[in-house]
Amino acid sequence: EVNKTPRHSVQFDKAMKVGWMSLKHRMNKNQRPRIVAFVGSPLFVPDEQELVRWGRKLRKNNVAVDVVSFGESPASNTPLLQAFVDAVCKDGNSRLLNLPADKCPPGGLSDALFSSPLLRDPSAQPRGAPQPDLSEFGGVNPEIDPELAMALKLSAQEEKDRREQEVQREKAALARSAAAAKAEEGASNANRAPHAGDGGGD
């Protein structure tokens, strides 16, 4: 059930500023600065124009921002997030991915991300050229962004392990249910069987 009275609001503008400060002090200055934001709730932004101005500042500093808007977010945040992404975007390096709850694929966010433009390298080879198999890294070239590629690889492996464990738990639960049913049936048959000496003459 959706919590319509959350205790805290999502402060997207502050999150972007924290992300930018982290990128300014990153160890590897050769990597292209990029922020990936996941938004699943309605946003509280006191000054929308200030957020757009902040987006232009990120653009000026060559920072890309990809926003994944899911759950309750697309219904209320799309115009604001689109304006922010448009302000940041430079040569197509920033995108907004809307995933309403009723449009999210069965595999959840991971499946949606793996098939989305967010994980495609903007400097990828033109169509027709042979493409390397990057499925292991969620479509991200580890030579271009090794940290993101490894994070996606670990995330996919964790999701695979989680699903396998869930399947094993379901199998174990079914086996226990079947064993309990069999034991109950055996006990019932034993109670119905005639005892020795029953049915004898006077």
pLDDT values of the chain reduced to their tens digit, one per residue, 202 residues: 455 555 667 788 888 888 888 888 877 777 788 898 888 888 888 888 998 998 999 999 889 999 988 888 888 889 999 999 999 999 888 999 888 877 776 667 777 777 777 766 555 444 444 555 556 656 566 666 677 777 777 877 887 888 888 889 889 888 888 888 888 877 777 776 665 555 555 5
8 Å CB contact between 87 and 50: no
Question: pTM, whole model, 2 decimals?
Answer: 0.55
Q: Cα 101 to the chain's mean position, in Å?
A: 12
- CA pair distance 77, 39, nearest whole angstrom: 9
The DSSP output letter for 183 is H
Cα–Cα distance list, 169 to 111, 128, 173, 177 (Å): 23, 45, 6, 12
HSE-up of residue 55 (Cα within 13 Å, Cβ side)? 24
* Residue 28 in tokens: 């590897």
Residue 85: exposure state from Cβ atoms within 10 A (0-12, 13-18, ≥19): buried
Other CB atoms within 10 A of residue 63 CB: 22
- CA pair distance 185, 43, nearest whole angstrom: 57
